[in-house]
Amino acid sequence: MNTIGEIGIKELASEYGTPLYVYDEQKLTANYHRLKSALDKYYTRNSIHFATKSNNNIEVLKSFKKAGSRVEASSPMEILIAEAAGFSGDDIFYNGNYESVEDFEFISSRSSMKINLDDISSFDRLFKATKELPERISFRINPGVGRGGFEGITTAGSDAKFGIPYEMAKHAYRKAKEAGVKRFGIHMMTGSNNLEPYYFAEAVDKLMMIAHDVFSELDIAPEFVNIGGGFGVPYYDEESELDVDLMARLISETFIERCQKYGFGSPELILEPGRYLIANAGYLISQVTGVKDSYRKFIGLDAGMGTIARPSLYGAFHRIKAYDNSNPEERVNICGQYCENSDILAKGISLPKLAEGDLVTILDAGAYCYVMASSYNSRPIPAEVMVSSGKHKLIRRRETFDDFMNLYNF
Ligand SMILES: Cc1ncc(COP(=O)(O)O)c(C=O)c1O
């Protein structure tokens, strides 16, 4: 693999150095439009809020804003980042968990945002932070079951730390209503990287039944229903793309049918995807720094667990492509330079023979990659570049020794 968005990988590596994150603006915009137009076909009162936690680069957020997206933020700092990218008020959907009273002091200063609470105890802390409650509130419901690509990214069910168990949801909404909240939404996020369209329709069905149970008793109606993110991308060659059109049709049909049955009118249907919109638009270019013939053959890269944590964090797999495909293939383990034996990016994969100085590109590195980078072993966090219409520009520079030292200037 030797180009990204028509730009030569060698040119990018020599201009900005490695390891280097590169995003393709046309690709992320196309991802947004594909999802949005599929939804518009079946239910027009929909909104997409891009999940900042998956990629918090301000230029990436601006590209999504330009495409028409809204944004999801999961911490006070993400709210500030979203605002710096030009989002405000209702365009921001805030989701948190276990926030402190101080967090809520900040969050409640943005009362026109959509504020989604993870628990009844979160409502109590919000109330401690401000007596002027936002007019509108929603709660994240744990429907008792969840599904993600693997355990580490499953976010509902009895072991999940997220959401209010659905049996307790009524209690939360009643409390909010009695405290003076006037407008309501409901939210769910059951897991990430699902490629099965029918799963989403089942999840919507479950959430709508819970909404009916809660809202009918309290004589309120949902202004919006947020079904979360979780829309998957194929990380392996053998996997297929999520059939977005089918998924949009199935969730819209279920949603419309349930809204009619329960007398909910036409609430806003919200999706807050991260991975689907940005994963495959991101690449990590890295250079081979060492080749070792040990009990296994190890290819050492200048990118490792501090650059891209997903493989060592929860066993995620990312395809890796050699710049030069002409050499015969061999089976190798790919590792980084960090002082941990879990610093392995891929085990037993076949790659064309690599030598020191060769370039490789790690695919699907747009979501949950840069944002999880650390400066462990005091290796600097890499730079990020955007390529668009045959041009490229630095959108966040590499960390430097001065950046480390600046934290001591107080
Ligand atoms: C509350 C919430 N919304 C949205 C997302 C985005 O998920 P995904 O990137 O799978 O679409 C996440 C991810 O964990 C999340 O926790």
Q: Mind giving me the DSSP string for 323-359?
A: S---SPEEEEEEE-SSSSTT-EEEEEEEEE---TT-E
pLDDT > 90: percent of the chain: 94
Decide: 267 in ligand 1 pocket, CB within 6 A.
no
On whether the CB atoms of residues 116 and 204 are closer than 8 A, the answer is no
Q: With a cut of 90, say whether residue 392 has pLDDT above it.
A: yes
What is the residue-averaged pLDDT of the chain?
A: 96
Q: Is 345 exposed, middle or buried (CB count within 10 Å of its CB: 0-12, 13-18, 19+)?
A: buried
Q: Enumerate the active-site residues.
A: 339
pLDDT at 150: 73
What's the confidence (pLDDT) of residue 300?
A: 98
Distance CA 240, CA 238 (A): 7
Counting beta carbons within 10 angstroms of the beta carbon of residue 174, is it exposed (0 to 12), middle (13 to 18) or buried (19 or more)? middle
Q: Collapsing DSSP states into helix, strand and coil, what is residue 168?
A: helix
Which helix or strand (DSSP H or E) is residue 73 part of?
Answer: strand 70-73
Ligand 1 atom closest to Cα of 276? 11
| Per-residue pLDDT reduced to its tens digit, 281-305 | 999 999 999 999 999 999 999 999 9
366 lines ligand 1 (CB under 6 A): no
200 CB near ligand 1 (under 6 Å): no
- pLDDT tens digit string along 336-365? 999 999 999 999 999 999 999 999 999 999
The full set of domains in the chain, from first to last, is: 3-21+281-406 (2.40.37.10), 25-279 (3.20.20.10)
- Ligand 1 contacts CB of residue 272 (under 6 A): yes
Residue 135: helix, strand or coil by DSSP? coil
CA distances, 397 to each of 83, 86, 382 (Å): 21, 21, 7
pTM, two decimals, is 0.97
* Cα(220) to centroid(ligand 1), Å: 27
Ligand 1: residue whose CA is nearest its atom 14:
192
User: Among 325, 282, 324, which residue's Cα sits nearest to residue 307?
Assistant: 282
How far is 176 from 183, CA to CA, in rounded Å? Answer: 10
Please confirm whether the linkage preceding 143 is cis (ω < 30° from 0): no
